Structure 1
Amino acid sequence: MTHAPPPPLSSPSAAVRLRLVSQPAQGHVAQRIDGAWWPRSPDLATELPRLLAGLPHAWGQVTSVLVDEAVWSPFPNRLLVANQVVRLRRTTTQHSPSTVCLLAPGRGRWDLMVVPPAATDAEAGRLMGSMATALDVSVGWGVAVR
């Protein structure tokens, strides 16, 4: 098991680049997406603790994460984040765009689109905007930043 370093608390470069849908999608949605995450690097062991620290408290304790292993540098099967074991599971299924699935027992499941770390500000803005348009929630976005 790998121990994740705690995320820096106040550095602007440590802010989580995360946009969440403020309201759950209404009706049937073929691919449920709850937001978009723009990590700073392909190092999941470094990026995941920042993401988990920036999630809404109401989401509870995420204990399992499913990611597309092709997107990330090699990573362990388990990671200790804030004294909690988080199981990291891999998928080789090609998603377009790439997603990360967060599971919190008794609380729920959240799927986030992953913006490529190397994306420019303009590219990331377009990807996040196109996702909002596709989900018809362009006015329902909130920004979670820590």
Structure 2
Amino acid sequence: RVTDNSVNDFAFLGRFFTIGANRIGHIFFWNNSDGDDEIYHAQSNEPLSEGLEEVAPVSPVTLSVPSILSSNSGISYSLPESGSIALKVYDASGSLVKTLVNGLHNAGQYNVSWNGITDAGSKATSGVYFFRIQTGNTSVSAKTILK
């Protein structure tokens, strides 16, 4: 969340533009391309013209994984815009176990399942696993336990 005295409190998701008190425009941009969250803010020096209204924020990339994964559990993700994505599974040591998705996708919501079989064709052992979806400069991770 970002708080600005003239615009109130709002959630910050990717990019956000709002018109605050006295029609002063505010733009916020979020960047985590190097792994650290950075939030930038700029505002107009003059009031914006009438007729210019707020632009809705871009929805973030989301990833939903059950906390306990059984065979063929559903994994869902959403993409705010079309582009190249990769959805991969890593073990607790950080080693790649399975590539579930790798390619171009349109914006939208998707569901995939993982049957616990690794890229090498063997059954993954029980334990902690991490799912990571990457698209452009955005990366989202989720942890699960494979039974």
| TM-score with structure 1 setting the length | 0.29
Q: Which of structures 1 and 2 has the larger relative contact order (alpha carbons within 8 angstroms, sep 6+)?
A: 1
| TM-score with structure 2 setting the length | 0.29
**Higher fraction of helix:** 1
**Higher fraction of strand:** 2
